[in-house]
Amino acid sequence: MSPEYFATEGQVSVDDFKTFCNQRVNAADYPLSAAVQSEVIIYDRSTLEDAAATDKRSVLSELHKALSYGPGVFVVKNLFSDVSVIDRASAAFEKIMREEAASKVQADHFSKAGNNGRIWNALQKLGETSPEVFAEYYANPMLNLICTAWLGPAWRMTSQVNQVRPGGEAQQPHRDYHLGFQQSAFAAEFPIPVQILTQYLTLQGAVAHSDMPLASGPTQLLPWSHQYELGYIAYRQPEFAQYFAENFVQLPLKKGDGLFFNPALFHAAGNNTTESHVRTANLLQISSAFGVPMEEVNHEHLLKLVYPILLESRKPADKTKALIEVAARGYSFPTNLDTDPPVGGMVPKTQQQLVTEALNEQWSVERFHSELDAQTLKRKA
C-alpha cells in the first residue's frame, strides 16, 4: 500500500505531538552554546563571532542544527551590543506608530485589535524615516550570519514591530508564515512533504527593543514542536492549544538580545501583566531566495486580455478554474498589509479570488479592469 502524502484534520494526534515535544537537548551537541534554559539554546554574540572568525562553517552548521534537528529555537545574547542603536531605532518606530495610530487600527493576526501596537513593513518605514539609523541598525554581521545559517545566501528580510502594552492579552498559539497564516483546511491541501518544506523557507526572529521580564509576557515557546509533521493543520485544535498552555516556556530577554526560531515552532506572544512596562520587539521575517519564479509575468496585463474570453465563453467550471490558476496570482503575499489588510480571515483576497468573484457576479470588462487596478495598487508598498 502506498504511503499517504495528503492528510486531513482528523488525522492529527496530540499523543504523537507530545512524543516530539518530550525530547531534551544534549548540551554537548551545541559546543558553542553558553547554556540551555528550558530547552532553549542560549548563545553569546561574542562567542559566535570568535568562532566564526576561524571556522564560519561550523558556526553555520551548529545554528542550523539547533533550528532543524534541535529544539527549533535559540537566543543570542547581546545581538546588538550597542543598545544605543536600538534606542534610536525605537524612537523612529515610536514616531511611525504615533503617526499611524491617528489614521488606522493597528491589528494583529493572532490577538485582538487594540492589545498591541503594530507597524507593518517596519523595515522600509525605518529606512524612510531615518536612513542613517536604518544603515546603523542593519549593518550587523551577526544577524547576517544567523540568517545565512538557516536560509543560505540571497535571502530577503522584512520586519514588523510589535508592541504589547500593560494588560495586553496573549496571542493564540500558532505556527507562522507561510502555512501558519492559512486556514487548516487550506493547509491540508498541500502534500505533507511540502508542508514540511515551508519551514525551510522562512526564519522568524525578534530583536528585543526593551527589557522583557517574564511579567511583560515574552514569547511563549514550545521547543521541539516544529518537528510534528502535521502541525500546520493541528495547531487550531483545542487539545493542541491546551497542551501548549500547559507546557510552553518563556525566557526573559534584555534589550538588544535576539530570539530566533523555526517558523513551524508553536509559539505565542505572552500576557503583559505589568502595570507600566511596554514590551517592544522588532519581529524579523527572513525569506529564502527560492520562493520566487524564474520569470516575472505581468499577470495584470494578461488578465485584462483573458477576462473578456472567460466572461463570454462560459467554459465548464473545471476548465475555468484551471485557466484562472494559470493566468492569475493565487497567493495573498507579498502585499502591503497597511492598505491590503486581511478581510474575514488572516490573509488578503488573492487575484484568483478576485477573478472568480468577477465571473460569478458577471462584472463588465470595465468594472473588472477598475477592480483589478485597485487591488494591484493596494498591494504596492
Would 1 be classed as within a structural domain? no
Identify whether residues 330 and 267 lie together within a single domain.
no
Q: For position 346, what pLDDT does the model report? A: 85
CA–CA separation, 225 and 138 (whole Å): 30
Q: For position 265, what pLDDT does the model report? A: 98
Identify whether residues 39 and 159 lie together within a single domain.
yes
Q: For position 241, what pLDDT does the model report? A: 96
Identify whether residues 109 and 251 lie together within a single domain.
yes
pLDDT bracket for residue 103 (50, 70, 90): confident
Would 86 be classed as within a structural domain? yes
Identify whether residues 263 and 362 lie together within a single domain.
no
Q: For position 104, what pLDDT does the model report? A: 63
CA–CA separation, 122 and 125 (whole Å): 5
Would 293 be classed as within a structural domain? no
Would the pLDDT of 53 be above 80? yes
Would the pLDDT of 4 be above 90? no
Would the pLDDT of 109 be above 90? no
Residue 202 Cα distances to 180, 205, 290, angstroms: 12, 10, 10
Q: For position 114, what pLDDT does the model report? A: 52
Distance from the Cα of residue 26 to its chain's centroid: 28
CB 299 within 8 A of CB 327: yes
The residue-averaged pLDDT of 92-115 equals: 72
CB 221 within 8 A of CB 42: no
Domain count, the chain: 2
Identify whether residues 275 and 178 lie together within a single domain.
yes
Range of the domain at 23: 9-287
Identify whether residues 273 and 207 lie together within a single domain.
yes
Identify whether residues 87 and 136 lie together within a single domain.
yes
Instruction: Read off the pTM.
Output: 0.93
Judge if the upstream peptide bond of residue 334 is cis by omega within 30 degrees of 0: yes
Would 106 be classed as within a structural domain? yes
Identify whether residues 248 and 312 lie together within a single domain.
no
Q: Is the dihedral of CA 17, 270, 282, 349 positive or negative?
A: positive
Identify whether residues 306 and 260 lie together within a single domain.
no
Would the pLDDT of 1 be above 50? no
Identify whether residues 184 and 157 lie together within a single domain.
yes
CA–CA separation, 287 and 207 (whole Å): 17
Would the pLDDT of 247 be above 70? yes
Q: Which of 233, 258, 287 is the last residue of a domain?
A: 287
- Tens of pLDDT, residues 257-277: 999 999 999 999 999 999 999
Query: Where residue 111 sits, what CATH number does that domain have?
Result: 2.60.120.620
Q: For position 112, what pLDDT does the model report? A: 53
